Amino acid sequence: MVHIVICPLHGVSKTLSLNEAEQLIRKLSRPIAETARLIEENIQLAKECKEKVLDNSQIASQGILQNNATVKRLQHPRTVCTNEKCCRVIQEGDETKMEYLSICHDVCYLKGIVQEKLSDPELEYCEAMDPDT
């Protein structure tokens, strides 16, 4: 008990800062994965282009094909679900993508949600998930 009494107080702002850092890391995991995937695709395209140029030097003037990605900022957070009525799975080669056909809750400011997180248990409290509405 004496040890607890003599321990210095910790700064609450430091705890909040750690929490904010954790939230940021969770938000960044999906964009980082998407960027890594895009880089891998571009490396593969560059290798294929190199082989074509080595076979036919006239192709070199066309340049190297690249996949580009753009980030579209939404005005409000949205909730989408993986119900078969709301989305469809698209298979492109060995990659599986999800196409969302509808937005379950267009303007969703539910507290405690980490954006871009899949299967967040807090989504249970979103009004779009209420079977009575």
Domain range list for the chain: 13-69, 72-133
In a structure prediction context, what are the per-residue pLDDT tens digits for the chain, which is 133 residues long?
566 667 777 666 666 677 788 878 877 887 888 889 889 988 988 888 888 888 887 777 777 777 777 778 888 888 888 888 888 888 887 777 888 888 888 888 888 887 777 778 888 888 888 777 6
Report the C-alpha gap between 55 and 65 in whole angstroms: 16
Q: What pairing do the DSSP bridges indicate for beta strands 87-92 and 95-100?
A: antiparallel
Cα atoms found within 13 Å of the Cα of residue 65, Cβ hemisphere only = 11
Report the C-alpha gap between 101 and 83 in whole angstroms: 10
CA distances to 10, 12, 14, 43 from 7, rounded to whole Å, are: 9, 15, 16, 54
Q: In this predicted structure, what is the pLDDT of residue 12?
A: 67
CA distances to 31, 69, 75 from 72, rounded to whole Å, are: 12, 10, 10
Report the C-alpha gap between 53 and 34 in whole angstroms: 28
Q: In this predicted structure, what is the pLDDT of residue 108?
A: 86
